[in-house]
Amino acid sequence: MLNWIVGFTILIVKLGVVLLVLLLLAAYLVWLERKFLARLQIRYGPNRAGKFGLLQPIADTIKMLTKEDIVPAAADRFIFLLAPAVVATTALMMFAVVPFGSHLTLWGRQIPLVITDLNVGLLYVFALSSLGVYGVAMGGWASNSKYSLLGGIRGAAQMISYELALGLSLVPVVMLAGSFSIVDIVNAQAKYPFIIVQPFAFVIFMISAMAESKRIPFDLPEAENELGAGYHTEYSGIRFGLFFLGEYVHLQILGALVAVLFLGGWRGPILPPPVWLFMKMIFVALIMIWVRGTLPRLRYDQLMALGWKVLIPLALVNIMVTGAILLI
């Protein structure tokens, strides 16, 4: 009984800490993105709120919290209200299986530095990521606006397409690690990170991940110059904030997944494991921002062609090659 209570407390504390870090990180990821992007474009980026604009995320949060929450008269109210929550929760829940260290020993208790080590962790991630699509589609549909609807449809189509490539690109990793558990995958990289043996998988995963999180150059669902703001055109205030949050949590998740699956996860010399993981995540994020700062948006047909005609075949070939090598 006592054991049970302590375990539960530890879980709650872990959850709290992770959630806090995640949300804070999401906010500052926005700051980082704006700053870094600005520098890529020879600008300053936010520099008015606090030193280096460091208070900007807080100002933005306050702004979004205090803005009027508008529900369009013609919207399907229930779904409209639900959609942003779906996006944000699915994104947050994905982090449950990402390990940020091996374990901590406190008062003689071993505390694994992962919220829960599912043996099908990777599948869990994919499942939630697929659920996230619902948020987008629901938001787009429920707004009862043509822009939103188009954005929602695009989002759904794009995310489903790239989910495939995303999944397939990881099959070799699973093959190498021999497990779906992310903890196991990290452990499998104890000697060398998988990026070294699986560069193709890494590239495919990166590209698919960017498409999955609807980031430039794959931001067709919210293409400003065509669709207003796409599926979240009609959202305002904190509900828009939830979409926004979902997007940046997603970015973190993907950063973390890249780190965990290809870059050895929390492993690294000298510094404590969570710091390594953090650094790797940031590194992945910076690369994604760099891509954003460099590449223009794809056309819809290009997007689809890239997914179906390039990435998926490549991933399949990669699986076969990996399989062949493993057999040999």
Q: For another protein, which residue of 38, 131, 171, 282 counts as binding (CB under 8 A)?
A: 38
Which residues, listed in sequence order, are joined to residue 109 by a DSSP beta bridge? 106
Nearer to another protein, 35 or 250 (CB): 35
Min dist. Cβ of residue 293 to another protein (A): 5
CA distances from 324 to 50, 136, 167, 204, 314 (A): 56, 39, 19, 19, 15
Q: Which stretch binds another protein (CB under 8 A): 36-44, 224-232, 265-273, 320-328?
A: 36-44
b or e along 63-85 (b: 16 or more beta carbons within 10 Å of the residue's beta carbon)? ebeeeeeebbeebbeebbebbbe
Residue 66 near another protein by CB under 8 A? no
**C-alpha to C-alpha distance for 61 and 72, rounded to whole angstroms:** 22
Nearer to another protein, 39 or 77 (CB): 39
Residue 295 near another protein by CB under 8 A? yes
Residue 317 near another protein by CB under 8 A? no
Nearer to another protein, 41 or 110 (CB): 41
| Cis check: omega of the bond before 72, within 30 degrees of 0 | no
* Backbone phi, psi, residue 178, to 5°: 75, 20
Min dist. Cβ of residue 314 to another protein (A): 12
Min dist. Cβ of residue 162 to another protein (A): 19
Tell me the chain's radius of gyration from C-alpha atoms. Answer: 20
Residue 40 near another protein by CB under 8 A? yes
Min dist. Cβ of residue 38 to another protein (A): 7
- The helix or strand, by DSSP H or E, that contains position 273, with its residue range, turns out to be helix 273-294
Nearer to another protein, 196 or 310 (CB): 310
Residue 43 near another protein by CB under 8 A? yes
Q: Which residues contact 276 (CB under 8 A, 6 or more apart)?
A: 265, 266, 267, 268
Q: Which stretch binds another protein (CB under 8 A): 6-14, 40-48, 59-67, 277-285?
A: 40-48
Q: Which stretch binds another protein (CB under 8 A): 71-79, 168-176, 237-245, 290-298?
A: 290-298
Residue 290 near another protein by CB under 8 A? yes
Q: Which stretch binds another protein (CB under 8 A): 142-150, 205-213, 222-230, 288-296?
A: 288-296
Q: For another protein, which residue of 3, 41, 105, 110 counts as binding (CB under 8 A)?
A: 41
Residue 52 near another protein by CB under 8 A? no
Residue 309 near another protein by CB under 8 A? no
**C-alpha to C-alpha distance for 255 and 8, rounded to whole angstroms:** 28
Min dist. Cβ of residue 104 to another protein (A): 37
Q: Which residues contact 243 (CB under 8 A, 6 or more apart)?
A: 84, 87, 88, 135, 139, 232, 235
Other CB atoms closer than 10 Å to residue 88's CB: what's the count? 24
Count helices and strands in the chain by DSSP H and E runs: 13, 2
Q: Is 184 exposed, middle or buried (0-12, 13-18, 19+ CB in 10 A)?
A: middle
Residue 282 near another protein by CB under 8 A? no
Binding site for another protein (CB under 8 A): 38-44, 290, 293-295
